[in-house]
Amino acid sequence: MKLKFTRGRIALVFLLLAYAGSAWWLLTRGGGMLDDGRTRISIAHWQIEYGPPDGLAAVIKRYHELRPDIEVEQVLVPGRIYRQWLRTNLVGGTGADIIEYGSFLPGMRDVPARYFEPITGLMNEPNPYNRGTPLEGVPWRNTFHDGLFNEQLYTPEIGQLYSVTLCQVTMRLFCNERLLREIVGDDPSFRMPTTLEEFRRLAAKTQEFSQRTGRTVYTLAGAKLNAEWLLEFMLSATLMNVSMELDRDAQLALYLRDFQMAYLRGRWNYHRPDVQAALGVIRELTAMMRPGFIQLERDDAVREFMNGHALFVATGTWDASSLIRLADFPVGIHRFPQPDAADPLVGSFHAGRAADGSKLTGMAFYLNKQSPHKAAAIDFLRYLTSVEAGQLFMEHSGWISSIRETKVPPPLAPAKGVLDGLSYGGGYMKTGAESARVFTQNLYRLVGPQGGVEQFVETIEREMPGAQRADLQLEVRNLVEALRPQDTGLVARRMLGATDQERAELLVTSQTLAESQLYEGLVVLGETASQP
C-alpha cells in the first residue's frame, strides 16, 4: 500500500517525532538525573567575591567523596542581576534546588512563601553528619551559633523555619599593619585603640606622619558606603542613652519603625544636645577620610587601602578574604573603637558599651519547593551545615562559619561575633529610603572645613519630618501587603483540619501581633498628618 505524504500527515509525523524526542529527553535526562544514574542538584548564590565560591567548592568536593551518587553544582549569579534571575527561574520552574535569599532583597517579599519549602520539622532532628562530633544528637537548629535567630525573625511564617545559614558577618576595621608600624614606630606603650579618644590620638599621629614624610596617608579609607557603615555604628553607639529612653515597649530593642514613630511624635530630633554631640563625632571621623569621599565607591576605598594611602578601612568581614589575599602587607582585623564615659565630647551621655557584632549568622539558603530532588537537596544542606563542612568552608573561604564547634583560624578571630555590648539597633541616620536620602544628601553640610553641626541640623530638621513620614507610610504599606495573603493561608489551614492546626494557630498569633504594629503606625501617621 502506497502512503500519501500529505502536508497534514507530514506535520503529524513531525509532531510525533518531536513529542517522542521530548519524552525521551525528559525521561532519560530530565529531573536532574545524570547519564550514570547519579542525582544532580544545584545550589545558587550571589557571593561571587573572593572566598565563598572556594569554600563551597571545597565542601562539595568532600561531599562527593561521601555521596558519590549525588552531584552538586554551584551556580554563581552576580548580585546585580540576582533578583531578576531568581524571579525568572522560580516562575519558570527552573530554579536551583537550593537557593540563597535574603529578606532585605527589595521587591521579593512574596518569594519565600510562594517558592520555598519550610524545613521546621527537620530542624528539630539531629544532623546526621554531626555524628562523632560534640554536636551529635543536638537538634539541627541548635547547631548554629545563633540558633537561626535572624531566620526566625524574618521568616515568612512565624514559627516556621525555611532556611539554614552558612556564615557569621560583623563590621570591623581592617588595618595595614606595616603602615601602622611605620606610624607608631617602636613605641612600646602603643596598643590598638579601643576607645574613641585613643583613636583620635592615633589619627593625630597618622596626620603628623603624613606631613612629616610627604606621603598621602589618611587614617580611614573613604567611600560613601564604608563611611555610612562606620557613621551609622558610631551614632548608635554614642546615642545608646537615647535608644534606652525610646524603648517604650520595654523590648530592649528598637525596630526602624520605633525610630520613625518616636521621631514623628517628637520624642527625639537632631536638636537634642546628645544628638548634636554625636554628630560632632561624625565630623571628627569624616575628617580622617580623604576629601570628597561621599562621591567614591567601595572599590575606591579598598584601592586606597591596598595602595597604602589609608591606615584602616571600615568594612564587613565579607571583605576579609579579598583584603588578606590581595594585600602585599599584613592585614589586621580590629574592633571599632568606642566612646567611653571619659570621652571629652560625648562621655557625659555615655550609657554603656555598644554591641559591634553579634553571634547572628547569615548567607541563608532555602529549599526550592519545586525541586525534583528534595531528599538529595536536604541531605546536602545537612552536610553543608555540619561541623566538618563548616570547618572546610571557613578554611577555604575565609568567612567565619555559622556552625558551633568549628575552630576559627587565629587571623580571623577578631572578626568573630561577640556578645559584649548593648544592642538596641540604630535609626539615627536612616529608617528607610527617604530618611537615608535626606541624611546623605546633606552630609556635606556636616563634614569638611566648610561644614558644621548647626547648619546640618538646621537643614535636616526642615526635611526630615517629611522623610520619616514617607518611610513610615511605606512601612505601613509593606505590612498591609504582607498581612493580606495570610488570611488566605489561615482559612486554608483551618479548613485542612487537625494536621494544620498548629501552623494555623501560629499564623493567627503572628498576624495579630503584626497588625498591632500596623495600627500603631497608622495612629502616628494620623496624629502627625498636619506636620509639614
Partner 1 sequence: MAVVPRVFPPLIIPLLLLVTLARADETPDAVWRLLAANLPGEAGVALKSTPPTEPRARALAEAVVLTARQPLTDERLLEAERRFEALAEVPDEVGAAALYLTGRLHQLHFSTPDYTEAARYYRRLAERQPASPWAQLGLVKLALLTLHVLPGPATPADRIAAAEVLLPRVTVPPLRRDLLIVLGRARLFHEVGMEQARFDLLAADAIGGLTGLAEADVLLQIGELSFRAGDDGRAEEYFRRFLKGNDADPRVYTVEQRLKVIAARKGGR
Binding stretches for partner 1 (CB under 8 A): 20, 23-24, 27, 110, 113-114, 144-147, 149, 152-153, 158-159, 247-253, 352, 355, 358-360, 369, 419-424, 480, 483-485, 487-489, 491-496, 500, 505-506, 508-510, 512-513, 515-516, 519-520, 522-523, 526
Cβ neighbours of residue 524 closer than 8 Å, sequence gap 6 or more: 260, 261, 264, 265, 472
Phi, psi dihedral angles at 406 (to 5 degrees) = -85, 150
Closer to partner 1 by Cβ: residue 158 or 474: 158
| Contacts of range 503-508, beta carbons closer than 8 Å, 24 or more positions apart | 503/157, 503/159, 503/160, 506/157, 506/158, 506/159, 506/160, 507/157, 507/158, 507/159
Taking the complex as a whole, the smallest distance from the CB of residue 200 to partner 1 amounts, in Å, to 26
Distances from the Cα of 459 to the Cα of 470, 518, 531, 532, angstroms: 18, 30, 16, 14
Residue 301 DSSP symbol: H
Closer to partner 1 by Cβ: residue 146 or 232: 146
**DSSP collapsed to 3 states, 341-371:** CCCCCCHHHCCCCECCCCCCEEEEEEEECCC
Closer to partner 1 by Cβ: residue 195 or 423: 423
Closer to partner 1 by Cβ: residue 107 or 532: 107
Taking the complex as a whole, the smallest distance from the CB of residue 508 to partner 1 amounts, in Å, to 6
Nearest to 346 by CA among 285, 412, 387: 285
Taking the complex as a whole, the smallest distance from the CB of residue 427 to partner 1 amounts, in Å, to 15
Closer to partner 1 by Cβ: residue 13 or 81: 13
Taking the complex as a whole, the smallest distance from the CB of residue 481 to partner 1 amounts, in Å, to 10
Q: Which three cell numbers stand for residue 419?
A: 556578645
Distance of CA 31 to the CA centre of its chain: 33
Distances from the Cα of 291 to the Cα of 348, 417, 444, 502, angstroms: 30, 32, 10, 58
Phi, psi dihedral angles at 334 (to 5 degrees) = -135, 150
110 SS3 class: coil
Closer to partner 1 by Cβ: residue 111 or 438: 111
Taking the complex as a whole, the smallest distance from the CB of residue 48 to partner 1 amounts, in Å, to 29
Taking the complex as a whole, the smallest distance from the CB of residue 392 to partner 1 amounts, in Å, to 23
Closer to partner 1 by Cβ: residue 109 or 178: 109
Distances from the Cα of 322 to the Cα of 51, 218, 249, 359, 399, angstroms: 7, 21, 42, 22, 11
**Cβ proximity of 39 and 386 under 8 Å:** no
Closer to partner 1 by Cβ: residue 6 or 516: 516
Taking the complex as a whole, the smallest distance from the CB of residue 143 to partner 1 amounts, in Å, to 12
Taking the complex as a whole, the smallest distance from the CB of residue 525 to partner 1 amounts, in Å, to 11
Closer to partner 1 by Cβ: residue 14 or 519: 519
Taking the complex as a whole, the smallest distance from the CB of residue 177 to partner 1 amounts, in Å, to 30
Closer to partner 1 by Cβ: residue 390 or 451: 390
Taking the complex as a whole, the smallest distance from the CB of residue 21 to partner 1 amounts, in Å, to 11
Closer to partner 1 by Cβ: residue 208 or 487: 487
| Contacts of range 408-415, beta carbons closer than 8 Å, 24 or more positions apart | 411/324, 411/333, 412/317, 412/320, 412/333, 414/172, 414/332, 414/333, 414/334, 414/335, 415/170, 415/172, 415/317, 415/320, 415/333, 415/357
Edge-to-edge order in the sheet of strand 331-334: 218-220, 310-316, 171-176, 331-334
Nearest to 310 by CA among 238, 202, 231, 228: 202
**Cβ proximity of 445 and 282 under 8 Å:** no
CA atoms 145, 147, 150, 156: torsion sign: positive
Taking the complex as a whole, the smallest distance from the CB of residue 147 to partner 1 amounts, in Å, to 5
Closer to partner 1 by Cβ: residue 226 or 486: 486
Taking the complex as a whole, the smallest distance from the CB of residue 432 to partner 1 amounts, in Å, to 20
Nearest to 526 by CA among 488, 469, 480: 469
